[in-house]
Structure 1
Amino acid sequence: MVATVRTVLGDVPAGDLGVCDAHDHLFLRSPLLPGQELADREEAAQRLRSFRGFGGGTVVQWTPHGMGRGAGSLAGLSRSTGVHVVAATGLHQAAHYPPARLDLIRDGLASLFVAELTEGIGSTGVRAGLIKVAGAFHTVDAHARLTMTAAAEAHHRTGAPIAVHLELGTAAPDVLDLLCGELEVAPQRVILGHLGRSPDGTMQREAARAGAFLAFDGPSRAHHGTDWRLPEELAALAEAGFGGQLLLGGDATVPDTPGMPFLLRRLCPRLEEVLGAETMTAALVGNPARAFALGPVRDAWP
């Protein structure tokens, strides 16, 4: 059976993704980023065209439910630019939502995630292809436990992978203990984001040994002073035998971040000097094809 990835234009063979930006945003809004919304469709199209011009094939948008993910525009953008786009369901940290909104959906999160994965996001007909959730700083707080529990249920019912925002790169062991231990999600179905924001090599190797995919998505914001360590971090993981778990992304969250074109134009050539072509091809092509593929569905939950 051929593995498939659920894009906004339908399911495609995982091997057709090509070069993949494994974590980025075409559209995003949050009360924590007032006046810095990603909401311009033509700017999104231009970024996709530029990404395509540098050899890009797929962009995975991690913008979850309720954060202006532009679901109604994603199919048209994918079709017009020739770039595969994967959309997300899921929920971010509580601070990104009005409390009244969380109260309305809190008890039905798993059903919401499943519906957006299988039926579509609202009336757009666009189906999500992954579930995005978020940890807290050095811990899994009550909100994270709630959303991760719902994500695990949706995963078991649909086979969709789970992508995790690690706050400043922390709490990976706690996230994996919950998702892969208590909630029985296979670690190969978990993608840990922002690992480079906490340059803790011991923690990174621990997450790698657990079997999760490791997303390094910088440079993404100007104040991320750890981005300069990215080549040595990736080299250490590759030399330790974890090159098959590495993913790369641009993670543009506000208009002035360099994002997906910069990933291929500047960052990847720099990384290839250190890692070599084989490891870079794995990180950009082979690893994403496995990380974002739909997996088997469990018949019952729990």
Structure 2
Amino acid sequence: MTVRTVLGELPAGELGVTDSHDHLFFRSALLPGQELDDADAAAAEVRDFKAAGGQAIVQWTPYGLGRQAADLAKISADTGIHLVAATGLHRAEHYPAGLVDEVRPRLAEIFVRELTEGIGDSGVKAGLIKVAGGFHVLDEHARVVMVAAAEAQHATGAPIAIHHELGSAADAVLDLLVDESGVAPESVILGHLNRFPDHRFHLELAARGSFLAFDGPSRANNATDPRLFDCLAALIDAGYADRLLLGGDTTTARARAATGEGPGIPYLLTGLRPRLVRTFGAEIATQLFVDNPARAFVTRGTVRS
């Protein structure tokens, strides 16, 4: 099996130490003045991540939010770090007025094209479909986008990663994507679960077979980061260490380490990983940073190219 990186197909076993959820480039209407759009700053962050032992970063920035795909390819080529780009669509409020209404009728077509032909004229193919739910429920926008994502997943085999608003509604997402739309649970990555630190809920989700992503440390997630290890412990003790992913989720210029206040992408390895090793052991840390990403981000099934 392979992972589709910005430089082409990569054998999954070569992905290496992975930040499973982050952003090198991101521009949202909700974060004016905090755009991640500086290619030099992004490259500096990637070099520092590599110096800490990192080998791959999965980008969760979807369609229309400033992905700078050509810059991703250049950074990957210059640094040797594997990068995965995303297609998909975020919650409507992240976009300028009118854009969502314009693209909604052809979402599946857009997703498939970016996965199989490339993002714009960059020639860089996405390897991930990023979509978003609502707070505890799936509104009409979320349902339309997720149905399109399921269609694109069936056509391409690409994994689907979900932003859960404050970590909620992951059960409703699985109901729609897996039970109603027939997406294999192992092709679904449930994100931001650290923002909803309900151990029982996490165990219910893990039992349904999807991957669970915990996206701290992050300046945006600071209120729930102290509960991260308790959440992980409950799942590891229940035998679900093979479903867990970790990411930094850097979404603002302020949160970058290279040019802002941090903690930034490198902290995932310089700060969090040593604590994981001390708490759970080196084998568990390797599962979360190496083994699980190599299974979560593969393209499954026949892909049109």
**TM superposition score normalised by structure 1:** 0.96
What is the aligned counterpart of 2:280 among 269, 272, 275? 275
Aligned match of 2:159: 161
- Unaligned stretches of 5+ residues in structure 2: 256-262
Who is 2:8 aligned against?
Answer: 10
Match of residue 138 from structure 1:
136
Mean alpha-carbon deviation: is it higher for 94-103 or for 131-140?
Answer: 94-103
Selected match of 1:112 from 101, 106, 110: 110
Alpha-carbon distance in structure 2 between the residues aligned to 1:236 and 1:76? 40
Unaligned runs of 5+ in 1: none
| TM superposition shift of 1:26 | 0.2
In the TM superposition, what are the counterparts of 1:173-184 in structure 2 within 5 Å? 173-184=171-182
Call closer, same or farther: CA 1:100–1:74 in 2, change over 3 Å: same
What is the aligned partner in structure 1 of residue 301 from structure 2?
296
Cα displacement (A) at 1:259? 2.5
1:116-136 CA deviation, whole Å, 9 max, x = no partner?
000000000000000000000
Equivalent residues in 2 for 1:188-267 (5 A)? 188-221=186-219, 224-257=222-255, 258-267=263-272
Aligned-residue offset at 1:226: 1.1
| Helix, strand or coil at the partner of 2:266 | helix
Give the counterpart of 1:56 among 54, 57, 70.
54
Aligned Cα root-mean-square deviation (Å): 1.1
Shift of 1:223: 5.7
Q: Does the CA-based 8 Å contact 1:235-1:274 persist in structure 2?
A: no
Deviations 1:128-151 (A, max 9, x none): 000000000011110000000000
Conservation of the 8 A alpha-carbon contact between 2:114 and 2:125? yes
Residue identity in the other structure for 1:275: F
Distance in 2 between residues matched to 1:114 and 1:238, nearest whole Å = 35
Q: Structure 1 223/52 Cα, relative in aligned 2: closer, same or farther at 3 Å?
A: closer
Q: Deviations over 1:167-210 (max 9, x none)?
A: 11101110100000101101110001100011111111111000
The CA distance in 1 between the partners of 2:301 and 2:194, in whole Å, is 30
Q: Mean alpha-carbon deviation: is it higher for 97-106 or for 120-129?
A: 97-106
Aligned length: 297
The CA deviation at 1:222 is 5.1
Given the two structures, how large is their TM-score scaled by the length of structure 2? 0.95
What is the letter of the counterpart of residue 141 of structure 1? D
Structure 1 pair 119–298 and aligned structure 2 pair: CA distance change class (3 A): closer
Corresponding position of 1:24:
22
Structure 1 CA distance, aligned partners of 2:197 and 2:72?
Answer: 34
Map Cα deviations across residues 71-130 of structure 1 (whole Å, 9 max, x no partner): 121110000011000000000001011231112111100000000000000000000000
User: Following superposition, which runs of at least 4 residues in structure 1 exceed 4 angstroms of deviation?
Assistant: none
After alignment, is 66-75 or 216-225 more displaced? 216-225
CA distance in 1, matches of 2:265, 2:221: 18
Aligned to 1:172: 170
Choose the corresponding residue for 2:64, options 60, 63, 66: 66
Q: Secondary structure at the match of 1:56?
A: coil
Identity of aligned residues (%): 60
The correspondence for 2:290, drawn from 253, 265, 285, is 285
Q: Give the distance between the partners of 1:223 and 1:165, measured in 2 at CA.
A: 13
State the secondary structure of the residue aligned to 1:49: helix
